[in-house]
Structure 1
Amino acid sequence: MHPHQLTSTDRAPLGRIATSLVACALLALLSACDRPGAGPAGIAFPDDVAITQALKTDFDGNPDNASARELIATLGGAQGRLDYRIQRVIARQGAFEAQYDVSLHLSRAGAESLQQLYGNMIPKDAREKLPEQTLAAYETWLAGQAASGDKTDAAQAAALRRSLATLDECYKNAKAGDDVTLMQGLAALVSPARDGWYAEKLESSQLRLRCLPL
């Protein structure tokens, strides 16, 4: 057997890899922030500072967001942050619908983030058998998984291949300090609460994933 050829025990289930990617992407659907100031008829819209703080508290404290927080930390680095671009804000009977895009401000080179992300996607035993612990080696292994999956689960193999291509395009040449668009066309309902503002996600037919696993 070729020294670099993988045995069946080296291969992770393709479904687990693809499912993990999709789950992280879906969990990364966050909430919005708003522009300050009064609108028509004297409506007092919440300002960016108040809404951003409410969103941060919810995102950091909600156990359902654990996978999303891990993905953002991996892609953005330790000091990476999410930035919101509000496209439209609509008053909704005492609350506000915010339509927005979200981007990730990188605190390290995108290639470093990809190496960490891809390394985490490969089972430890298989990863330790690779000739090098590099981004190129990880990409080759994952591409091999997609090729193997063409015969067993073509749909998931195609999803993995598309995810790798998307992430490569978005992050491989990105530098620390760059902003990468994660999603466009999101929506959230921002409501007043006794202790400030509360934001909850809304379904949006305009949602588009850009630089996240598909």
Structure 2
Amino acid sequence: MSPAATLGTVLLAYLPAAITPGPNFVLIAHTAATGTRRAAVAIALGVVAAGGLLAAVAVFGLGGVLARTPWLATALRVACGGYLAWLGVRLWWQARTPGAPVPPPDQDEVVARRGTAFRRGVVSNVTNPKAAAFFGSVLTATLPPTEPTAVRAAAVALIVATSAAWHLSVALLFSSPATQRWYARAEPALNRVVGTVLVVLGVTLASTP
């Protein structure tokens, strides 16, 4: 198979995994609609960075780690489930009345929030079972270790570029003024709906082998 065909196969395998709604999508979209565009972009960049790291680990020979260590896969699943459930509970507690005044943060707080948002995106993707399944099995099967180093490096770059395009698009779309105005009118109810979905998803992930 030519390098172009190999990269095309990698892209076709990755696209459905990237755009299928999951924890990363929910986290970015909710932050964009209820917070700031910068925070949503920071989370998206964290997701992209973690995805690039996982892709690099997978294609350069360590993709079988999860297959050889079932306890690690279980730990990731439980960690992801607990993290999602925690986010859901936080949404319930932080649900606000529409129009409730929120004091503007100072510059130091803004910088701190960006760092926290970036770390949240990294944690969300690293502990995401869907990402672990793709990078640990699908990608390594699609891109065997016999491929030249240049092709594997190009595959990682392609995954990072595709992930950035998708997740940043989600951040920008949901942080548009029209979306934020609509979300603000229904924020308390939607926070509780999204929180419930995250708790259910988290408990299901943590308890399902």
Larger CA Rg, structure 1 vs 2:
1
Length-normalised TM-score, structure 2: 0.28
Length-normalised TM-score, structure 1: 0.27
Structure possessing the higher relative contact order (Cα contacts under 8 Å, 6 or more residues apart): 2
The answer to which structure has the higher strand fraction is 1
The answer to which structure has the higher helix fraction is 2
